[in-house]
């Protein structure tokens, strides 16, 4: 992917876009663009095919995954846009449940669903384009880790293994439920707790439906 993005990073060199605080020069969980001395916009997008069978839960997981990018940068959610790929022969009530699951997570985050876009596709997909806000001096990034840092996990790892086991009928109900609940949980509280630690936090990324 680095090779694919290289021509773009050369077109949009960081020195020519001083307000773009986080962009292609050092790819992160989201892009950050400074508006003024006190505010910067966080922009991110994430969508994928179903990872669980239940429509509502899939919508909630996909939304939590996209919203998590804002929290990984130290921000708060402002609004989100639905992104949907859907087959014409699928029951529309399934999509209603997916969107309801996503909307509930956006509302829980304190943001609003402000619109979206739908395309026809052979494989269903759902996610969000999310806009958030952060103070320019309080941005979390992936790149600040130092030797000797303590790694703090705010969610358990291994969700990819569990979801694969669920699809193959190899996962017991308790493990499946715990995995799904974890993937549906927002990373908001963890992000806010990290912000209280200030400069003691050197690097941050998110744990979501796809693990670390």
CATH of span 2-200: 3.30.1330.10
* Structure confidence at residue 210 (pLDDT): 59
The predicted model gives 4-26 an average pLDDT of 86
pLDDT band at residue 209 using 50, 70 and 90 as cut-offs: low
pLDDT band at residue 3 using 50, 70 and 90 as cut-offs: confident
* Residue 59: pLDDT over 80: yes
CA-closest candidate to residue 187, choices 160, 153, 151, 154: 154
pLDDT band at residue 24 using 50, 70 and 90 as cut-offs: confident
* Structure confidence at residue 2 (pLDDT): 67
The predicted model gives 2-6 an average pLDDT of 74
* Structure confidence at residue 12 (pLDDT): 86
pLDDT tens digits for range 136-194:
999 999 988 899 999 989 888 888 889 889 889 899 999 999 999 999 999 999 999 99
pLDDT tens digits for range 29-50:
999 999 999 999 999 999 999 9
The domains of the chain are located at: 2-200
Please spell the DSSP secondary structure of 116-168, one letter per residue. Answer: EEEEE-SS-EEEEEEEEEE-TTS---STT--TTPPP--SS-S-HHHHHHHHHT
Give the rounded percent of residues in the chain with a pLDDT score beyond 90.
75
Extract the tokens encoding 200: 């003691």
pLDDT tens digits for range 61-101:
999 999 999 999 999 999 999 999 999 999 999 999 999 99
């Amino acid at each position: 992917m680095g090779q694919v993005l290289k021509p773009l990073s050369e077109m949009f060199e960081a020195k020519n876009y001083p307000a773009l605080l986080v962009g292609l020069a050092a790819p992160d969980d989201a892009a950050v663009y400074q508006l003024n001395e006190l505010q910067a916009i966080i922009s991110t997008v994430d969508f994928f095919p179903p990872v669980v069978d239940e429509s509502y839960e899939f919508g909630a997981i996909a939304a939590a995954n996209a919203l998590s990018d804002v929290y990984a940068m130290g921000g708060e959610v402002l609004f989100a846009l639905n992104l949907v790929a859907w087959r014409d022969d699928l029951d529309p009530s399934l999509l209603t449940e997916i969107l309801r699951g996503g909307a509930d997570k956006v509302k829980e985050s304190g943001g609003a669903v402000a619109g979206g876009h739908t395309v026809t596709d052979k494989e269903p997909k759902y996610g969000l384009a999310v806009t958030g806000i952060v103070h320019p001096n309080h941005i979390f990034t992936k790149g600040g880790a130092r030797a000797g840092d303590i790694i703090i996990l705010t969610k358990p790892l291994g969700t990819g293994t569990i979801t694969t086991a669920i699809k193959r009928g190899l996962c017991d109900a308790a493990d499946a439920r715990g995995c799904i609940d974890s993937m549906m949980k927002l990373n908001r509280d963890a992000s806010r707790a990290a912000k209280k630690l200030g400069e003691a936090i050197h690097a941050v990324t998110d744990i979501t439906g796809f693990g670390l």
